[in-house]
Amino acid sequence: MADNENKVAENVPGPFYVDEGCIGCRLCTNDAPDNFRMTEDESTAFVFKQPENDSETKDCENARDSCPVDAIGNDG
């Protein structure tokens, strides 16, 4: 389960976030490219924009369900 006390610093505020457990597999940036991207050094993903419609929310939920290390959280 993702830890909201251990978020990647680059996340924008809001319900979805990536925590420091991310292994940089890029699955979420492929599943939800409108909301997740890699940090500049490409070590971890982060949420650069919170979902703004049902389609983006679904993509973010899919990314959260698919993350191999449960590093994506949704506090919404």
> How many whole angstroms separate alpha carbon 71 and alpha carbon 39?
15
Interaction between residue 67 and ligand SF4 (CB under 6 A): yes
State in angstroms the smallest separation of the CB of 22 from ligand SF4. 3
- Cβ atoms of 72 and 63 closer than 8 Å: yes
* Residue 25 touches ligand SF4, criterion: CB under 6 A: yes
Instruction: Say whether residue 49 binds ligand SF4 (CB under 6 A).
Output: no
Which position among 22, 32, 47, 60 is part of the footprint of ligand SF4 (CB under 6 A)?
A: 22
Which residue in this structure is represented by tokens 């996340």?
Answer: 11
DSSP summary character for residue 18: E
Given 7, 28, 32, 73, the residue binding ligand SF4 (CB under 6 A) = 28
Instruction: Say which residues have a Cβ less than 8 Å from residue 30's Cβ, sequence separation at least 6.
Output: none
Binding site for ligand SF4 (CB under 6 A): 18, 22-28, 44-45, 67-69, 71-72
